[in-house]
């Protein structure tokens, strides 16, 4: 499972009152592919946001009430400046839903 399988949430766990969703991105941010890569990332993030907003997690964690949500993106390669700015914008928009998007580069 990874960014190119947009219909699947790659991994789900929780810690106390926080639901954690992981997204794996193994693609490089090359100049000729960045636009397509960003569309793939946007599509995948929309699936995760819908998963939270529609409370699909209740199918697995029916007795849990979560007060916050974290989407962790695990990049294999350093994201581009455009991608970083995009993720900052996404975080601003999702703040009211108690959803945070964080990332790290796993190499």
Residue 90 to residues 1, 16, 71, 84: CA-CA distances in angstroms?
23, 24, 11, 10
| Residue 52, token pair as written in the block | 């939270």
| Confidence class for position 1, pLDDT limits 50, 70, 90 | low
More confident residue, 4 or 87: 87
CA–CA separation, 15 and 9 (whole Å): 17
Statement: residue 107 has pLDDT above 80: no
CA torsion angle 86 93 15 56 (round to 10): -100
| Residue 102, token pair as written in the block | 């964080």
Whole-number average pLDDT of the chain:
94
Q: pLDDT digits over 37-60, tens only?
A: 999 999 999 999 999 999 999 999
Q: Give the orientation angle of helix 34-53 with respect to helix 81-94, to 10 degrees.
A: 20
| Residue 105, token pair as written in the block | 């580069």
Task: Tell me the average pLDDT across 54-80.
Answer: 95
Statement: residue 98 has pLDDT above 90: yes
Q: Give the pLDDT score at 13.
A: 95
């Amino acid at each position: 499972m990874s960014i190119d399988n947009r219909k699947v949430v790659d991994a789900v766990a929780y810690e106390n009152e926080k639901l954690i969703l992981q997204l794996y991105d193994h693609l490089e941010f090359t100049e000729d592919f960045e636009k397509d890569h960003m569309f793939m990332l946007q599509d995948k993030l929309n699936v995760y946001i819908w998963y939270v907003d529609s409370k699909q997690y209740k199918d697995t964690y029916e007795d849990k009430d979560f007060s916050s949500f974290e989407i962790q993106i695990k990049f294999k390669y350093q994201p581009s400046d455009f991608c970083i700015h995009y993720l900052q914008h996404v975080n601003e928009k999702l703040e009211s839903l108690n959803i945070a998007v964080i990332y790290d580069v796993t190499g």
